Amino acid sequence: MVNTKVSEVLDGSFLTYTFNLLRANVLRERKTMSLLLLQDNTENASVIQKVAVTLQQILREKDVLFKTEHTNEIGILLPHSGREESTGFLRRLQDSCECFLDPSQDRCLLASIIEVFHPELTLSNALMMCRDSLSKASETSGIQAVYADSGFERPVTMVKVSLLEADRLFRGFLVMAFERIHLPGIDLQIREFDDGLALFQSGWVNSWHPHLVVMSDVLPKKNGLDVLHELRAMPNEEKFTVLMMTRRNSEEDMIYAYESGTDAYLVKPFNLRLFEAQVKRMLAGIWS
Amino acid sequence: MMQLPIEWLLVIVVGLLIALLVMTVYMMIGRARENRRQVVTTAYLERNQEDWYDYLCVDGIPREELIPKNTAELKALEELFRSLVHNIKSEEIDKRISAFANRCLGNFYRDALRKGNWGERVNALSRIRDFGIDSLAKECREMLARKTVSKEEFFLLLLIDMKFNPETFSERHIGNLDKLSSKDTKELLFSMSDLLFDQIVETIDHLPARTQYAVVDVIGMKLNASRSDKLEQLFSSSDNELRIRILRAFNLLERLPADEVLIAAIESDRWQERLQAARLFHLLPAHSAVEYSKILADDEHYLIREEIRRYLAQPAFEVQVDNEAVSSLRE
């Protein structure tokens, strides 16, 4: 029996419900969740009991501790955490748990990490894959982490791109630069506008999709800063990532733009490769 | 009252109507021509947009289809290059634009330089510089040697010569810079490479006064303190305008000049020099600033007294120095 308060350790159908809920959030927020399965293969599973106590002390409020049908196992769901964060978490766990502090005792615990980002990955499948990976792991001192692969690719995310630039020739070049950016799991839907008013009249901003707005500060009818203020005043403004292109390179202008909500700032004339690198960096942050 | 026969009036009305008709037809033909040119231009750009991107940003291989076949396509190309050089900064792209422009636009601009129309010549000179058409460098030098070029052409020709022949620019044109307006001289100096600008700074003692002013202003604007030694040397000049500009440059650089320069400025009989010196006080250690402030606290000029008063009123200043000395100065 694991020495934890029952109310804090999930199991059964409520665990499945919680897993499905968190997985739905993963897809909506595009933030990976990790499932960690800890397995104690010692004779009376003494290590896992001590680890469970430590886990209760170090887990964040949004993390979920659960037990499985096997008494020598304990699982954790870590929302907003990928493989690296989970590995770091295990390292912290090992440093915090007193049963690993004395090296002469040679305590060992196996841990499997699987990233959850696909809607078809169920809890039972994830646990099965973890156990499968654990069966191939070798036992050494401390927490031995292995990684399980779900076999799924990240679901393709449609990202809207709006290009606001008054110079049609330069705009055309930027569109072509975008069309040649290929990132796994990201489907870019590009539309170009010659001013800010056309963007809002098109209705292109009215959807939940992540939206990258690349715009010049000087535009006819509605300029870049007006567009920025309007986007940031929208209720779901966090979906917008804004890259401002400008000829103004004074510190005051930059400070004002950043304070108004721009995410990045490029001073014209700029290197097209720098532009592509910035865009790729921004798109890479779509999934975290 | 003057009497005019009705036949004459009819003739005038008919004449005006015919003139109006001719003008209308002329404008319609002009408009149709412009529309046709626009159609050809747009078609050329749309047809070749991908190929242009590939040539300039990817492989650098110019396809035959990119070569413009008529004036409308040449104009389209000019428009495209102009847009790119103003928005994109890349040595690779600049080289490719220059190579293509030398090949396909060189003759077009050579003809434009020979035309009597001033606007066309200035436009051609701007494009030669923007697109790096060095095959026309010789023509531009010949044009520069003529005495009939306008101020605008002269300025553009200097920029072109600076771009294509930077190594000889200083010795060839150093004495001619005072023919430019103050704004143009500063723009020229500002767009120079650091190496060339340093050459100009080294010879500043021999430059005409107007050029000296511009050089000193640009040293301040460039915010590069490495030339402050030269500024200090120049301060021994008897030219008050130059001395004021030197002090203003030190203010822009946020750097203190040598003590003798600062003291000379504080004791100057020109209030502008004393004002610029007072504006440098915030860079001094607090105790020195108080000592100098004593000299200028009762200055005859209101702006200087106000500058000192504003400086002494800073809250941060209060904690650094003896309150009694500051209070007496504030009074």
Residues 64-103 of B with CB under 8 A from A: 79-80, 83-90, 93
CA distance A18 to A27: 15
Q: Crossing angle for the helix pair B194-202 and B166-173, nearest 10 degrees?
A: 30
CA distance B190 to B11: 63
Domain boundaries, chain B: 103-160, 182-255, 258-331
Residue A2's pLDDT band, with cuts at 50, 70 and 90, is very low
Residue B59 confidence (pLDDT): 83
Asked if the model's pLDDT at residue B304 lies above 50, the reply is: yes
Average pLDDT over residues B166-188: 86
Residue A7 confidence (pLDDT): 41
User: In sequence order, what E strands does chain B have?
Assistant: none
Residue A162 confidence (pLDDT): 93
CA distance B159 to B35: 35
Contact A272 B93 (CB under 8 A): yes
Residue A191 confidence (pLDDT): 94
Average pLDDT over residues A202-226: 90
Average pLDDT over residues B150-178: 87
Average pLDDT over residues A30-40: 88
- Which residues on neighbouring strands pair with residue A267, listed in sequence order? A246
Residue A4 confidence (pLDDT): 41
Residue B321 confidence (pLDDT): 54
Please name the CATH architecture into which domain A157-284 falls.
3-Layer(aba) Sandwich (3.40)
A118-145 core/surface letters (b: 16 or more CB in 10 A; e: else): eeebebeebbebbbebbeeeeeeebbbb
CA distance B177 to B212: 10
Contact B53 A272 (CB under 8 A): no
Q: Where in chain A is the domain with CATH 3.40.50.2300?
A: 157-284
Distances (CA, A) of A238 to B71, B177, B306: 49, 54, 49
Closest chain B C-alpha to A273 CA, distance in angstroms: 9
Residue B324 confidence (pLDDT): 56
pTM: 0.74
Which class does domain A6-148 fall in?
A: alpha beta
Residue B331 confidence (pLDDT): 55
Closest chain A C-alpha to B87 CA, distance in angstroms: 4
- Which residues on neighbouring strands pair with residue A37, listed in sequence order? A75, A112
Asked if the model's pLDDT at residue A5 lies above 50, the reply is: no
CATH of domain B182-255: 1.25.10
Q: Which of B156-160, B174-178, B234-238 has the lowest mean pLDDT?
A: B174-178
Q: Considering just the CA atoms, what is the radius of gyration of chain B in Å? A: 30
Q: Where in chain A is the domain with CATH 3.30.70.270?
A: 6-148
State phi, psi for B12 to the nearest 5 degrees: -65, -45
For residue range A144-162, list pLDDT tens digits in order.
Answer: 888 988 888 888 888 999 9
Contact B89 A271 (CB under 8 A): yes
- Residues in Cβ contact with A105 at an 8 Å cutoff, skipping those fewer than 6 apart: A99
Mean pLDDT score of chain B: 87
Query: For B33, what's the count of Cα atoms within 13 Å in the CB-facing half-sphere?
Result: 7
For residue range B14-50, list pLDDT tens digits in order.
Answer: 999 999 999 999 999 999 999 999 999 999 988 888 8
Burial classification of residue A56, based on how many CB atoms lie within 10 Å of its CB (0-12 exposed, 13-18 middle, 19 or more buried): middle
ipTM of the complex: 0.74
